[in-house]
Amino acid sequence: MKFKGLRATVMGLGHFGGGVAAARWLARQGAIVTVTDLADRATLREALESLAHEPIREFHLGSHAEEDFRHADLVVVNPAVRPDDRFVALAAQSGAQLTSEIELFFRACPARMIGVTGSNGKSTTAAMTAKLLEADGRRVWLGGNIGCSLLDDVERMSPGDWVVLELSSFQLWHLSQGCRVPEIAVVTNCTPNHLNWHPTFDHYAAAKQRILSGQQPGDLAVLNTGDDIVARWDRLARGRVLAPLPLDDLPPLAVPGEHNRINAACAAAAAVAIGCSTAAIRDGLRSFRGLPQRLELVATIAGRRFHNDSAATTPESTIMALRAFERPIWLLAGGTAKGGDYRGMIEAIADRAAGAAFFGSVADSLERQVAARAPRLKSCAVATMAEALAWCWKHSRAGDEILLSPGCASQDQFRNYRQRGETFVELVGRLSAAEAKVSVRGTNSRHGEGSGHSERSEESGV
């Protein structure tokens, strides 16, 4: 497709660079680019600064204008835009071609691609897959929903490279019919998710299935046969289907949890399919240290270990996080619901947690459900994550785990899960600094100065 002279509207710059990359790439291809976003200039400051020297025709911020969609030849839709959006419908009715940043990349990419999707574990599985290919000496690019657009890197890629992409249901749903999809598809699992965006679970599952139905007969799919729903998707595959490697064939992993062994088994199957050596696969898995905000150990303070699992935005992710530890767990959970079923998460909290502090818009609801299921379990409902952390600190002891694994979306109090996790790390850092001061006072108290550590540690604020 030729873009020179096309009137292109980029709908939504987003938080992770996809809209920025699309606007920049189209402008450099000679398109006449208009950027429109509901956010204001102050909110989009960083994104706008990165486009300051690009030949963008216009920026329309704070609202959308119908003419930007009625008169466009091409509209690049941000993945977060709902399927029933009236401006998208207007563009389609006016004859505009609808596309997305990831579709632009699919069309332009000269390299071979591995796409990873699923309700849980897709980021870790994508990163593991890239790690295994790198261990085998392949030139690898990692991107997609994992946090960065690769559109700016297309010109540096070659046909011999491999691109590994994490793909969300939003990204897959917005793909046009006939669009190229990755030659190798990996599906980790499928459980109800984003039902505040997808009208039904079937709608959500259909979006995930696009990674299979869009393939060609010579392509390949790795399906997690341990997931009852995904195991039945083999009938949708256009090419060869592989199961994950047996878990017993995997080496010990640095990342905790049975779910991460399943992620590793899926990644290893994809690596085997393209010819990576057994030695490289084992070395890559052993050396994989995990991703930020996914069961990430961020500090050990007074014998408690603090874990940032802010990327756990579904109940199933929190269930797996709770199963990953043996020591007493003090859970911070909450945020805003995405339409999922929290009964399994409530059961897991009752079975696995020493206590739970719920925050955000669902705090009261979750706390009531836990109290009804496990009346003797310590729990509370508070407004903020800071209050939840202070409560967990107060009630925990040396040897315990303090785990942020929200099981919910973040947008009631944060821009996204990353900002939520970064805030958690900042709060833990303040707690560490406060505890260090208390420890110094405790040391001095042996000489008649200050108060003892054991008396102050539970009272330290966050």
pLDDT at 439: 57
Compute CA distances 404 → 297, 366, 373, whole Å. Answer: 10, 15, 21
Place of tokens 């995904």: 230
Decide if pLDDT at 241 tops 50. yes
Confidence bin at 284 (pLDDT 50/70/90): very high
Which residues pair with residue 336 across a beta bridge?
Answer: 409
Which residues pair with residue 296 across a beta bridge?
Answer: 308
Decide if pLDDT at 454 tops 50. no
Annotated domain spans of the chain:
7-99, 106-287, 296-444
pLDDT at 323: 95
pLDDT at 347: 97
Confidence bin at 441 (pLDDT 50/70/90): low
pLDDT, the chain, mean? 92
DSSP designation for 111: S
Decide if pLDDT at 462 tops 60. no
Torsion of CA 62, 66, 72, 75, to 10 degrees: 50
Decide if pLDDT at 276 tops 90. yes
pLDDT at 435: 85
Decide if pLDDT at 459 tops 50. no
Is the CATH code 3.40.1190.10 the one for domain 106-287? Answer: yes
Mean pLDDT, range 123-134, rounded to an integer: 97
The burial of 255, by beta-carbon neighbours within 10 Å (0-12 exposed, 13-18 middle, 19 or more buried), is given as buried
Confidence bin at 252 (pLDDT 50/70/90): very high
Q: Which CATH architecture has domain 296-444?
A: Alpha-Beta Complex (3.90)
Which of residues 235 and 195 earns the better pLDDT score?
Answer: 235
Which residues pair with residue 378 across a beta bridge?
Answer: 355
Confidence bin at 158 (pLDDT 50/70/90): very high
Phi-psi region of 374 (alpha: psi -120 to 50; beta: other; left: phi over 0): beta
pLDDT at 217: 94
Give the Cα separation of 458 and 441 in Å (integer).
15
pLDDT at 105: 97
Mean pLDDT, range 405-421, rounded to an integer: 94
Q: DSSP secondary structure string, 1-52?
A: ---TT-EEEEE---SSSHHHHHHHHHHHTT-EEEEEESS-TTTTHHHHHHTT
Among the residue ranges 5-9, 55-59, 324-328, the one predicted with the least confidence is: 324-328
Q: What is the pLDDT of residues 365-392, one digit of tens each?
A: 999 999 999 999 999 999 999 999 999 9
Give the Cα separation of 46 and 36 in Å (integer).
15
Give the fold, CATH level 3, of 7-99: Rossmann fold (3.40.50)
Decide if pLDDT at 361 tops 70. yes
